[in-house]
């Protein structure tokens, strides 16, 4: 499972933020460094179990398909409204290529925001909805690409170095800035329209998940579809 963890008042209080897959198709969760008010996306889970019928799986990461000389955006339509992401195709081309491929192949359609931490982030991209699902492959990080963790940031969740897959998170509150103390999650975009929708999702009532963390939405919030815009 992939998660993000915040450190509160100089204490590393782990709050998992999940995304990305490990070498065994697992999803990782972010973990916070020992720094004041810091949070991180990290995921470390056991091997991913077989997915439900209809779950899409791939043998390997996609070949490069995007044109880095063009500008890419993504409109994510959810059960609570739409928001638009400016994708960083020049600064994180491998990650953006992966996201565009999965979105165009409808991989993300009907997936849930399985992990919600109001002042930190909302996480999605897991076909299992548990934090351990992924597309069946991993790909490398693209860190230190000139962007920072802030409200509206879009970044991959992972289970360690170079274990990105399909899970990603969106910064919904100031706590996401704590990831600057441990910048281990590839930033590949930022919300440019509809941030109010992101924060509306972040504010839904939550209950404990299977690990006991109070981050599972009481009522499912889903991605209807993702539309890629190429200019």
56-90 pLDDT per residue, tens: 899 999 999 999 899 999 999 999 999 999 999 99
Joined together, the tokens standing for residue 19 give 């995304």
DSSP conformation letters of 17-46: --EEE-TTS-EE-----SSTTEEEEE---S
- pLDDT in the model for residue 165: 98
H or E element that contains 73:
strand 72-78
- C-alpha to C-alpha distance for 86 and 147, rounded to whole angstroms: 13
pTM above threshold 0.75: yes
Which residues, in sequence order, are CB contacts of 171 under 8 Å at separation 6+? Answer: 120, 121, 149, 150, 151, 152, 153, 154, 155, 177
Give residue 4's pLDDT. Answer: 53
Question: What is the chain's length?
Answer: 231
At 55 the pLDDT is: 74
Q: Which residues of the chain fall short of a pLDDT of 50?
A: 5-27, 30-40, 42-53
Question: Could you tell me which CATH number the domain at 3-46+70-230 has?
Answer: 2.40.100.10
């Amino acid at each position: 499972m992939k998660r993000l963890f915040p450190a509160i008042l100089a204490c590393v209080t782990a709050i998992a933020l999940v995304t990305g897959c490990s070498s065994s198709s697992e999803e990782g969760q972010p973990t916070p460094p020992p720094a004041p008010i810091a949070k991180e996306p990290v995921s470390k889970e056991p091997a991913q179990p077989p997915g439900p019928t209809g779950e899409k799986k791939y043998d390997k990461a996609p070949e490069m398909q995007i044109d880095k000389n063009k500008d890419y955006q993504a409109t994510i339509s959810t059960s609570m409204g739409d928001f638009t992401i400016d994708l960083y195709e020049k600064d994180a081309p491998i990650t953006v290529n992966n996201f565009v491929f999965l979105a165009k192949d409808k991989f993300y359609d009907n997936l849930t925001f399985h992990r919600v931490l109001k002042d930190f982030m909302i996480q999605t991209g897991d076909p299992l909805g548990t934090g351990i699902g992924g597309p069946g492959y991993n790909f490398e990080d693209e860190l230190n690409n000139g962007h920072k963790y802030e409200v509206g940031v879009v970044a991959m969740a992972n289970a360690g170095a170079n274990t990105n897959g399909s899970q990603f998170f969106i910064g919904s509150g100031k706590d996401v800035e704590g990831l600057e103390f441990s910048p281990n999650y590839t930033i590949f975009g930022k919300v440019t329209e509809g941030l109010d929708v992101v924060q509306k999702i972040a504010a839904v009532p939550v209950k404990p998940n299977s690990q006991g963390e109070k981050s599972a939405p009481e009522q499912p919030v889903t991605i209807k579809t993702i539309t890629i815009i190429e200019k």
